[in-house]
Structure formats: C-alpha cells, structure tokens
A and B are shown apart, each in its own frame.
Chain A
C-alpha cells in the first residue's frame, strides 16, 4: 500500500500514484501536467490563493469551533422557515451514496430509484395540494412564487401585468418575486388585510383587468389560517386573473386542499418535512392544473413502460426545459432541490396521513395554548389577530418589542420583532412546533419576567 501514498501534497481525492501519473503523462505524450494547459501566458495565474490545506480532523475542529460561535438559543422562530423533528432514519437513508452522489436522471435506465422517489414526491404534493400536476421541486417558496407569476404571464387565460400579494407577506418573498418579474415587466402591488386575514371586500375593489395573479397564503406569514380562501379565488377569477395559494405540506395535511377552493397554482414550503432548520435552505412546492402542464417550470417525472412492458419512470415533457428549448424555455431552472425532495417524501411516508395530521393539529393546538398563556401575562396580548393559527402568532407588548425580545434573548430564547415604532404597536411573533414545545413553560416564565 505504501506506493499508493501521494508523494506530493495534492488533492486527497485523486487516486493517482506518482508512477500512475508518470505513465499517463507518457501515454499522452507530454512531460508534465503543466504542458496539458493551453492557457496563454498573459492570463496564466502564477500567484497563490493563500488557502492553507488542513487535515480532515483539523477542518472538522475548525468548522465546529466556528459554528460554536452561534448563540445557544432555543428558537421560537418561523415566518416561513419552520422546524419539525426529522427522524434519524430519513437522514440515514437519504445519505446513501447512490442517492446523494447521483446526477439529475437524464439516463433513466440507471436511475430508476431516484426517479421513482421523485414520482412519489410529485404524487404526495398532488394529493396534498388537490392539484393534479406537481413538479419535482423548486428552490424554495419565494422563488416558486416568482415562477407562478411568470407562468401566469405565459398562459392565455390571464392577460394583465399586475401581481397582487397580501400586505402581510414576508418582505424577502416579495423581494424575490419582484426580482423574478422584473424581466417580464410585471408589477407587484399589495392588498390590505383585515385582522390578519385577506380583506376580501377591499380585494374585490382592487382587482381589475390589469390583474394577472392574486396570491394569498394559508397559514399567512403571521400564522393565520385564511378562512375565506374560496372568496379570494372568486375575486381573482372575476377578472380572469389566476389564483395562487401559498402553504406548506404539514398545513395542507389538515387544511382544505387549495385545489378544491379554486387555486390555479399552489406554491409554498415542502421543506417543513425532512429538513429542519437550515438558515433558510428550502424546497419549493409547485403544483398546478392540467391545463397549464406544458407551461410548468422545472422537472417532471412521468411513468412509462420499458421494452419488456414493465413500469418505468423517466423525466418527461423536457421540451419545456432550458437544455432543449433554450431562450424559449418555461424557466431557466436546472439543478434544484431533488435530494431535499427525497427527504421530504421519506418523512411524509414515515408519518403517513395520520402522523401528518397529528403534526398539523399539534401546531394548531400548541399555538392556541401558548398564545392563551402569554395573554394571561401582564403587558402581553396574544394572539393579536382573532383568528385560528397554525404554529405561530403575533404578540402585542406594552414595552418596546426590541426590549422584550432582548430580555428573552438574555434568558436563552429567540423570537421575531416584527414591528416597533413610536407611533405604532409593539409586535413580536412566536412560533411553536414539536421541536421547541418542550420549552414553552420556560418561555412563558421568561415573558413574565421581561414583559411587564
């Protein structure tokens, strides 16, 4: 084995012995590796990056030490990025190298396993959204919303150029939407809320022939379950605009399927299953009606048969995609989040419908119970909106919200400050799921100390 040890300090992930390298150079007919590069001297790089190579153990120590600088807080944070407990078997199975180290399934005969897993993912999303066509994933909820607006712009049924979004929308989601539609010269406007839900009467006033798409969320970024989704859809359809609903796969297990209340497109977070907290790395849902199939962005796995008549899976309708259609593609999306989709499907399948509904139901009850306990405290009112909530809710404090949040932080808890100004209400937001529910007693106690 000693001859396999590299003589020079090169990459540890190239298997070449010095003898191999010499034999290969000789076979190619050059004296050195440098001779293989056809780079003019004037642009050749002779300097150094100044990145020092480390042993694997040293890198581990360094990264763990670096990440250890993140404050040790129990997070009651949500607003679009949620954590539910992911069983170890999910990470373990997804980590199998046949999945993790494979490429997009352009060679379907040798990638049936991943194709079937993505077909199962698409099917889960179709069942949960109530729409028949779901793609094999988008980057995240915000970019999926951007793609929904671009799809609306492509289909014949809608002709306006204004995308209407709720006033209560995560600012970053709106910013991504605006970036996505800038090239298509669409504009984004917001419609007002009524106690945390869509102000349907105001929306009816606002829609007109310029409206391309109406977007609404359930639950909203403030955790409010939207009760009048069908009426929102009617407002959109009254002016021939498309209706897009944003949600997440856990909420959709419990809530009425958007496809049943008129949604033309469903976007949102699939990453609530399988992923956990990842600084916001996500997995976007994209589902739509059959009529828009050929305008769908992204990859689709379809069922077919092989030469022996056996069921087989393959990427299909690829003529929509950039590698075939180039500038006329429905989207530029190529690599996206397939491995996360695999994890999501695994997690959903392990929970099953009962486990999923229990998880969602827990999010409703835990949020309601925590809000009630906080509401009993001096200087605290919760929930601010008199609505049903899922996972999270807004809290009004008598003291300035940043001061209350700072006090909570000193006691080991992170919550959102969503509004604080001299002339406005002081608002915090709190998110509770199965991963932090064990700490709610301590959170309530901390609120009791810092809120009055």
Chain B
C-alpha cells in the first residue's frame, strides 16, 4: 500500500489471509496437539487431601509454541497489517520504542516497596499526572483506572462523593442516547438512575431537552465531545451552565480526545471530571482488547476525592528534580511520595493500575510534545474529511472531526463491512450510533497516508457496489467465512471441554 504510483489509483486491492488447513479445519487448538494429563498430588509436599488428582492441559515445546502462536497471529489483523478505521476506537499506529521502555527491568518494581525505593516509578507517574492535566485543562489526575469504563466509574464515584460531602445526595446521571454503552453501565454501577437524553435534529445535545432533564436530582451529565457522530457540541458553554445551575457536574468521556489535542481542552469547556483513553489518544496498543488505561482528571475542588494513593511531590523539594538522576549517591531524600487524598473514594484497582501502559503513554507524550500532539489531531481530522470526500456513501451529519458516520443506506452495514475485509482493510464500526441508519462510523486516524486512504475508499466503494449474493457470502478470503452467531449463543461452547469429540478428553491424543 505504500507504493505511491499505484496508491493513487482506485483499483481494488485484495487480501488473502494466511491459514494452515488440516482436513478443512484451521490451526488446531493447543490441547488437540499437545494434551498431557498428570496427577499433581503425586509426590507433593502437601497432604493428599489438599491436592488435585488430575490436571489435563496442553504442553507444547518451545518450537511448537512459537509455530502455534505465529500461525494464530497470521489469522489476526493489527494496525500494522493495514487500515483499521474503527470509529470511536482510535486505532492509530503504536510506536515500537515504547514497548521496550515498558519492559525495562528497572520498570519492574513491586507496588509495596517503600516510596524511597520507588523514586523512578513515582517520578514518572508524577510527571505523567502533570502532563495529562495540562492536555485536558484539569488540576489533578489519577492514573489508577485500568480502562475507559473503569475511568468512567471512578469519575462518577468522585461526583457521588462530591455531592455527598455537601449533604446533597442525588440520584440521576444524564447520558445522551448516542453515548458509549459504558456510560450507561458505569453510572448504573455507581448506583445512579440513568436519564437518557435524545439528540436534537442536528445530532447534538438538544438544549431544551437538557433543561427539562436537569434538576435537583442531577448528579452529572456525561458527554463525549466531539460526540460519537464526530460533531463538536458548539453549545458546550450553555450545556455546562444548565448542568451547573442544576447543581450537577459535567463529565467528559475522553474517547474522542484525539480530535482536539491542542485545539480545545475539556477543562476550558466547563467540564469538571474527565477520563483519558490513553490506548486511543496516546497510541498505547489496544492489545486485542486491553490492557488500556484511563487516567481521570478533575478540577481542584474534586482533588480530595481522588482514588488512593495519589502521587505528589514531597514538600520542600520543588525545583530539585531537574538535572542529575536522584539516588546515585544515596543521600538525596525522596522527592515523590504516595499519599491518601483526604476524602478519597477508595480504590478502583488492587494496585496502581496498568503501569506498563502508563510508561508507554509517558514516552508517547514526550516524543510528540506540544507540536506533535497538535499535528496528530490536525492530521486525524484531515484524514477523516479526505476519506469522506472520496467515498460514495452519504454522511448525514457535518461538520465532523476525526470520525464520521456514513450510511450504507439500503445496504446492510454489517454485510458491507464483511465485504470490505476481502479488500485488505478492516471495516469501520457498524450500526452505531443509532441515529444514522446502517451507520458506518469511520475513524481513519492520523496514521494513514493519502494513498492508503484512497485504498480504503476503494474498498468502501467496492463493497457498496457488490451485488446481494456477493455481500451475503462475504468474506471469501479470510481464515473463516461468515460465522453462525445464533448457534454460538444458543449452544454456548466456551472451552475445549465443551467441544464434541474434542481431544480435550480423548486419551488417544496423548503424545
């Protein structure tokens, strides 16, 4: 796709996914090639009644393991495989160098060390708290929440603690209909009733509906901006006023922050609490569904409610941090410490969250700096706009930013998506948000070149132009064809023990 000459053409590309077939089946399960069964209690130092009698698991030698997982990896699509324009997911390129920083042996410190023996870890966390605060326009940041939904839960718990501290317990959280499903679930987990806010005709918050919904029971409004259609909530200041006048707090869902870096900050828009999805905005890899991290930023008045522990600079050491690494001579007293905020909501993770992800976040921010971050947003928004220009599908809501919701109109968006796979691109998020019929929510990110966006557009158009049979039978070139979802749910088979005739319980398969 990097070939400039052909990249400018709109001829369709094709992609055949690698797979190793045995009697028509793909790579076998590890248990099917390497099942071993033993009696763990035999010869144990523990008494017989405490140990198990049998354990049947796969056992692969290192060369076999390498081959098994390499083959599995070849049946999987990553950002480095090609375009991955999942709307709302920000599948941008993940810089390689951050991986070995996170894996450095000096990073591998136990949480229960004394502060004095963790000065490197705490210094990095402190600096990251500070940087994220500046990026979001927030006064204090916790790095503990391990994922976006955990960040939401943390932020709403902070709002709850705030209201309780004022002897004003409230019972409702307002969530726009088009919000991420996690918003609804997080508010419910925190003990609130969810009040759903329908969007106005322009796809944005309807101020009259918000006026009607906000009141003495409103603990918070959770808002994504730009919203899940990619639209900036132009009336954000009025929105903030309505919520604040009702005594509620304004919560910012950071899923779409990649659209705004260096252009606008949640804190300046009137938000009181926010989470950052570092695995989206700050390029830490998604890892097939985590680990991510979702630091939560708050205004000064909410600092006292942050999860414990929080990291701060030891009083009297300000300004001593720059320059030579500490601890070399062993004489320097600790400069950073963990402390418990006075009215903390408690803990949302057993330790300090997903530390390796936080190291990668720090490295990414340091690499890009102000100009790089601002440019990342600019290119992400430019890419979305350029792609929308190229495709034949209508985009009903504009002006969008880093993502757009095209409509597949009379086509089934899920079928169009499956057809796109055969062209060597990952399809967009489909059938969401719901206000766009047969939505294809598309977020190319700044990582795609002009020519790869042209390939992506060609894949869109080829799928939309495909006839009904071709759509219904797609994909044809992947490791598997269309999957029977209904029977997977009706007859759940969730481990190799549940597979009929599986080697999982077949002694004949012992090596």
Contacts and interface: CB of A to CB of B under 8 A. Distances in A.
A10 B375 contact: yes
Interface stretch (B95-103, B206-214, B295-303, B463-471): B95-103
Nearest to B39: A357
Contacts of A42: 237
Given A49-B131, A102-B288, A365 B51 contact: no
Interface string B114-153: 1011111101100000010011010000000011111011
A106 B485 CA distance: 12
A93 interface: yes
10 interchain residue pairs of minimum CB distance: A280-B351, A352-B59, A53-B369, A339-B287, A10-B375, A183-B191, A142-B350, A338-B289, A113-B76, A332-B185
A338 B447 CA distance: 23
A204 interface: no
B182 interface: yes
A37 B401 contact: yes
Contacts of B347: 142, 172, 175-176, 179
A28 B188 CA distance: 42
Nearest to A64: B104
B376 A14 contact: yes
A1 B24 CA distance: 45
Contact of B119 (A12, A70, A110, A349): A70
Interface string A199-218: 00000000000000000000
B182 A332 contact: yes
A8 B372 CA distance: 10
25 contacts: A21-B379, A24-B450, A49-B135, A59-B363, A67-B107, A71-B118, A81-B110, A102-B77, A103-B89, A106-B86, A109-B479, A139-B147, A139-B349, A176-B348, A182-B191, A281-B355, A282-B351, A304-B487, A314-B485, A335-B286, A337-B291, A340-B287, A388-B46, A409-B114, A409-B117
A178 B30 CA distance: 39
Interface residues of A, number: 190
Contacts of A333: 147, 149-150
B291 A53 contact: no
Given A89-B65, A305-B483, A316-B488, A361 B349 contact: no
B367 A105 contact: no
Interface in A337-374: 337-340, 342, 346, 348-357, 360-361, 364-365, 368
**Which residue among B86, B116, B234, B481 has the maximum number of chain A CB atoms within 10 Å of its CB?**
B481
A424 interface: no
B117 A257 contact: no
B156 to A, nearest CB: 9
A176 B350 contact: yes
B379 A11 contact: yes
A332 B153 contact: yes
Nearest to A137: B290
A89 B62 contact: yes
A326 interface: yes
A132 B55 contact: no
A140 B94 contact: no
Interface stretch (A157-165, A236-244, A295-303): A295-303
A140 B160 CA distance: 24
Interface in B454-511: 473, 475, 478-485, 487-489, 492-499, 504
B9 interface: no
Interface in A128-150: 128, 132-134, 136-137, 139-143, 150
Contact of A255 (B50, B73, B346, B432): B50
A112 B26 contact: yes
A225 B50 contact: yes
A300 B187 CA distance: 23
Contacts of B365: 51
Contacts of A25: 382
Nearest to B472: A307
Contacts of A62: 366
Interface stretch (B242-250, B261-269, B312-320, B405-413): B261-269
A81 B448 CA distance: 40
B483 A108 contact: yes
A132 B498 contact: yes
A69 B17 contact: no
B373 interface: yes
A95 interface: yes
Nearest to A368: B45
A322 B370 contact: no
A291 interface: no
B220 interface: no
A448 interface: no
Given A103-B89, A299-B289, 4 more contacts: A105-B288, A107-B77, A178-B346, A255-B50
Interface stretch (A72-80, A376-384, A393-401, A437-445): A72-80
A419 interface: no
Most buried by B among A66, A172, A340: A66
Contacts of B436: none
Interface in B64-92: 65-66, 68-81, 84, 86, 89, 91-92
Interface string A405-417: 0000100001010
Nearest to B292: A335
A139 B150 contact: yes
Given A8-B375, A71-B117, A132 B62 contact: no
Contacts of A368: 45
Interface residues of B, number: 202
B254 interface: no
B147 A103 contact: no
Interface string A75-119: 101011101000101011111111111111111111111101111
B263 A99 contact: no
B399 interface: yes
Given A254-B51, A280-B350, A53 B367 contact: yes
Given A172-B350, A280-B355, A49 B262 contact: yes
Contacts of B117: 70-71, 73, 409, 414
Nearest to A405: B114
B109 A96 contact: no
B111 A81 contact: yes
B234 to A, nearest CB: 6
Interface string A269-302: 0000000111111100000000001000001111
A156 interface: no
Contacts of B89: 103
Interface string B439-460: 0000000111110100000000
Contacts of A260: 52
B399 A38 contact: yes
Given A49-B131, A281-B351, A300-B494, A316 B265 contact: no
A24 B452 CA distance: 13
A253 B55 contact: yes
Contact of B57 (A63, A112, A124): A124
A112 B123 CA distance: 41
Contact of B288 (A225, A312, A342, A348): A342
A5 interface: no
A49 B370 CA distance: 6
Given A310-B26, A354-B59, A293 B38 contact: no
B29 A116 contact: yes
Nearest to A36: B381
Contact of A331 (B189, B265, B448): B189
A48 B262 CA distance: 7
Contact of A339 (B26, B65, B290): B290
Contacts of B256: none
B431 to A, nearest CB: 11
A43 interface: yes
A451 B351 CA distance: 30
Contacts of B72: 112-114, 116-117
Given A12-B367, A304-B488, A20 B450 contact: yes
